[in-house]
Amino acid sequence: MELPIYTYAVIFLFGLCFGSFFNVAIYRWPHEDPKEREWIRTPSHCPKCGARIKWYDNIPLFSYLILRGRCRSCQQPIHWRYPLIELGTALLWLLTAWLTTTYGLSNVPVTAITIWHVLFMIAFASLYLLTFVIDLNTSLIPDQITITHFVLAWAFMWVCHGATISPGWQSSLIGMFVLSAFFLLFYFFRGMGLGDVFLAIGFGAIFGWKLVIVTGFAGIMLGGIVAIIIIAVLMARGKYKMGLPIPFGPFLAIGAYVCLFFGAALLDWYLGFFPKLSTALAGWL
Ligand SMILES: [Zn+2]
């Protein structure tokens, strides 16, 4: 399946708009009362002077450029994070649509890709982006993300039946417990949040039990490398304290995104070193 070039322009514009909505989610989800869905009703306002933002000053990215990064009423600078998230979302959507339609997914050849695959991958990519930013900011992964992720994971299994990343629902069912049980152990030893555990249940459904291990492994490797670098830099400056919390969600999010496309290739590459294990695993789900 190849997308006509104009669809990329549409995807980019939709990405900007959703990025604008994600800014609101990033700001409000971590500390909202679940009873009040106020982020739907409350209109946007400047966090510094409280002035309501007019619709023409709320156009993603463009308003920031036209206003030169300042609020129209109080002239205080608007945080660079807002346009960055908008542009980042749009670019992530472009990359995701392009990878899905030109490379295919793990275990899904490009010839089997439908528009549904593109839509689901964009949705998963967006949830991973939100996980990345919110966990980095607050060390939390809100339920809004983990529940949506889980529901979409099974919706994907159902809608794209026969052409999914997981080889089938049995593999997904087992996968739901593999990585999450492992993370749960870490949760009890205070190394990991419950949000990571819930996210891992959704990963299992999307990836099946084999690739969910690859996803967890990719996240742990990436997190470990970055943690070592951060600790080394802090130690060199004499600022390192024991027990420094480093959120794991951002690395898990990157690992999962990579595995959507390259998980199967990574697994094959790794199993290439262990031919006996590879033959033994080949007969399994
Ligand atoms: Zn203002």
Where in the chain are the domains?
A: 1-85, 103-282
Distance from residue 44's CA to the centre of ligand 1 (Å): 11
Report pLDDT for 34: 55
The residue behind tokens 């006509």 is 4
Cα–Cα distance measured from residue 222 to residue 252, given in angstroms and rounded to the nearest whole number: 8
For ligand 1, the distance from its centroid to the CA atom of residue 71, given in whole angstroms, is 5
Distance between Cα 58 and ligand 1 center (Å): 13
Q: Computed over its alpha carbons, how large is the radius of gyration of the chain?
A: 21
**Packing angle between helix 115-138 and helix 81-102, nearest 10 degrees?**
150
Beta bridge partners of 45: 52
**What tens digit of pLDDT does each residue of 63-96 get?**
999 999 999 999 999 889 999 999 999 999 999 9
How many Å lie between the centroid of ligand 1 and the Cα of residue 69?
11
Ligand 1 centroid to Cα of residue 14, in Å, is: 26
Whole-number Å distance between alpha carbons of 22 and 92: 13
Residues with CB under 5 A from ligand 1 (ion): 46, 48-49, 51, 71, 73-74
Residue 249 CA to residue 216 CA, distance in Å, equals 11
> Given this model, what pLDDT does residue 133 score?
95
Question: φ and ψ at 31, to 5 degrees?
Answer: -130, 45
User: For residue 121, how far is its CA from the centre of ligand 1 (angstroms)?
Assistant: 36
Q: State which amino acid sits at residue 34.
A: P
Please list, in sequence order, all residues whose beta carbon lies within 8 angstroms of the beta carbon of residue 269, skipping any fewer than 6 positions away.
none
CA of 52 to the centre of ligand 1 (A): 8
Are residues 107 and 167 in contact, defined by beta-carbon separation less than 8 angstroms? Answer: yes
Structure token digits, residue 62: 């463009």
Residues of the chain with pLDDT under 70: 32-42, 243-244, 285
* CA of residue 72 to ligand 1 center, whole Å: 7
pTM of the model: 0.91
Q: How far is the CA of 77 from the centre of ligand 1 (A)?
A: 8
**193's torsion region: left (phi>0), alpha (psi -120 to 50) or beta?**
beta
CA diameter of the chain: 68
CB atoms within 10 A of CB 154: 15
As a whole number of angstroms, the distance between CA 81 and CA 5 comes to: 29
**Rounded distance from Cα 57 to ligand 1 centre (Å):** 12
Say what the pLDDT of residue 278 is.
84
Q: Is 258 helix (H, G, I), strand (E, B) or coil?
A: helix
What does the pLDDT read at residue 265?
93
Residue-wise pLDDT tens digits, 33-48? 655 555 555 677 888 8
* Cα 122 to ligand 1 centroid, rounded to whole Å: 33
User: What is the distance in A from the centroid of ligand 1 to the CA of 73?
Assistant: 5
| Ligand 1 centroid distance, CA of 156 (Å) | 42
Residue 26 tokens read as: 């990033």
